Amino acid sequence: MKTPEIKKVLTDKAWQANHLNEYIQITGWVRSIRHSKAGISFIEINDGSSILSIQAVAPKALVNYCEIEKITTGVSITVSGILVESMGKGQDVEIQAKEVKILGIIEEPENYPIAKKRHTFEYLRGLPHLRIRTNTFGAIARIRSSVANRIHNFFFENGFHWVSTPIITSSDCEGAGELFKVSTLDYAQKNSTATSANYTDDFFAKETFLTVSGQMNAEAYCLAMSKVYTFGPTFRAENSNTSRHLAEFWMVEPEIAFADLEDNATLAETLLKAIVGHVLENCSEDLNFFTQQIDNALTERLSRVLEKKFEKISYTDAVEILKKSKRDFQFPIKWGLDLQSEHERFLTEDYANGPVIVSDYPKDIKAFYMRLNDDGETVAAMDVLVPGIGEIIGGSQREERLHVIDSRIQNQKLRKELSWYRDLRKYGTVPHAGFGLGFERLVSYITGMENIRDCIPFPRTPGNARI
């Protein structure tokens, strides 16, 4: 017998109409069970396809009812029975069980870490292999999966090509030096060879790292295929224990040729609106859960993303707006200093009441590859800021002029080899632009979850690489 997903049984009205009063079979894990004095057990079963669980009504007449009475939260079962209209609240149908098979019990149920009670997110972070069994993390996983699918479809619908950029690289894209080194040499040997910068005995015969960004590699393909994107894991060896940082996270990075900063900003806004519209239309059950349990303004805030055109201001104007606010910020506001999270949130939540695109940052606080503006002091960079999160996208028009990028590389004394990157400017250079969208920050924004460690299945942070 074919086993339908519980989501289909509960939400597909056409399917319900075709199978009402018919014999069906479902599988899943017990979320809760209660027994009546009349000798009837009510079992809530979930299979991960939806936040919703289906109720199976098991009468005492079943041959293994004594085993059913011992079922606890987390037990996996198969239920076969008749799909009928439900007399209870919150669901249209339920199953009158004719057979309940127990597939996997919970050993030592009194010690089951995900017992049916409310757990703190901090507690659940210590159980990354089990927390997915809770409503919250099941909903995060479904939204994350759905959003990833929409991102890929968005780019394909708009003529982009997906490029698989390398995870192991010899380049430090950002020039910040926060890199995980990749080596097959043992620690003592690595120390001695690194001192003399001699990597001849190492696997790649040169110094290599885990990538901080796929941008530069994507640029190479962009300058032959016009529109490309990469979507993969990136790594930062930043010793930061905050709710906003991960050592391993995923990035969406499109690159477009024959494009300037305005084209880049338009692409960023269009992408974000496509994602938010998709979630509002296709993930309503999980989104309603987050609105009820995490942030009651969530759905309204996401809806405003579709309704409003993103406000655009220059970095210089942003600094003036922040100064005139008379707000007592923790970090100083001064032209030439980078904006902090508190500044970004003020601009989105108090000034614009929605997403803001800030552009034209001072060149000294941005990467060497960003196009130098005519004023010689700023670069064609942009950050997309959203309420509750701050920066969610960072991008720029890339510097396509060889003599300018050579000057910036020399001034910043970058230690890496960039001859291949210079070739992109030597041989048929064109104006081009791109950005990076932090996937976990996006998931955080969509779900209202405050800690980014809850927005990735197995978080990697300083001192923590569990599982």
pLDDT higher than 60, residue 415: no
Nearest to 36 by CA among 53, 59, 61: 59
| Per-residue pLDDT tens digits for 344-394 | 999 999 999 999 999 999 999 999 999 999 999 999 999 999 998 899 999
- Report pLDDT for 244: 83
| Per-residue pLDDT tens digits for 4-23 | 999 999 999 999 999 999 99
> Where do the DSSP E strands lie in 23-147?
23-35, 40-46, 54-59, 76-85, 93-104
Number of Cβ within a 10 Å radius of residue 92 = 13
Q: What is the mean pLDDT of residues 226-232?
A: 98
| Per-residue pLDDT tens digits for 82-109 | 999 998 777 899 999 999 999 999 999 9
- Report pLDDT for 89: 76
- Report pLDDT for 187: 64
pLDDT higher than 80, residue 172: no
Angle, in degrees to the nearest 10, between helices 215-225 and 419-426 = 30
Q: Rounded mean pLDDT of the chain?
A: 92
- Give dist(CA 168, CA 180) in Å, integer: 10
Please, which pLDDT band fits residue 197 given cuts at 50, 70 and 90?
low
* Residues 430 and 397: beta-carbon distance below 8 Å: no
* Residues 373 and 397: beta-carbon distance below 8 Å: no
- Give dist(CA 47, CA 319) in Å, integer: 50
Q: What is the mean pLDDT of residues 400-406?
A: 94
- Report pLDDT for 422: 92
pLDDT higher than 70, residue 204: yes
Percentage of the chain lying above the pLDDT 90 cut: 81
Partnered with residue 436 across adjacent β-strands are 394
| Per-residue pLDDT tens digits for 247-300 | 999 999 999 999 999 999 999 999 999 999 999 999 999 999 999 999 999 999
Task: Name which of 40-44, 206-210, 333-337, 408-412 the model is least confident about.
Answer: 408-412
| Per-residue pLDDT tens digits for 306-318 | 998 999 999 999 9
| Per-residue pLDDT tens digits for 123-170 | 999 999 999 999 999 999 999 999 999 999 999 999 999 999 999 998
pLDDT higher than 70, residue 413: no
CA distances from 279 to 47, 205, 294, 450 (A): 21, 46, 16, 18
Which string of DSSP letters, residue by residue, matches 139-159?
Answer: HHHHHHHHHHHHHHHHHHHTT
Structure tokens, 330: 């923790």
Nearest to 432 by CA among 384, 396, 403: 396
- Tell me, rounded to whole angstroms, the distance of Cα 378 from its chain centroid: 30
Q: What is the mean pLDDT of residues 192-214?
A: 79
- Report pLDDT for 206: 86
Nearest to 286 by CA among 389, 154, 134, 152: 134
- Report pLDDT for 126: 93
- Report pLDDT for 433: 98
User: What type of residue sits at position 76?
Assistant: S
pLDDT higher than 60, residue 176: no
Please indicate whether residue 238 or residue 130 has the higher confidence score (pLDDT).
Answer: 130
Q: What is the mean pLDDT of residues 457-466?
A: 92
Nearest to 32 by CA among 56, 67, 3, 6: 56
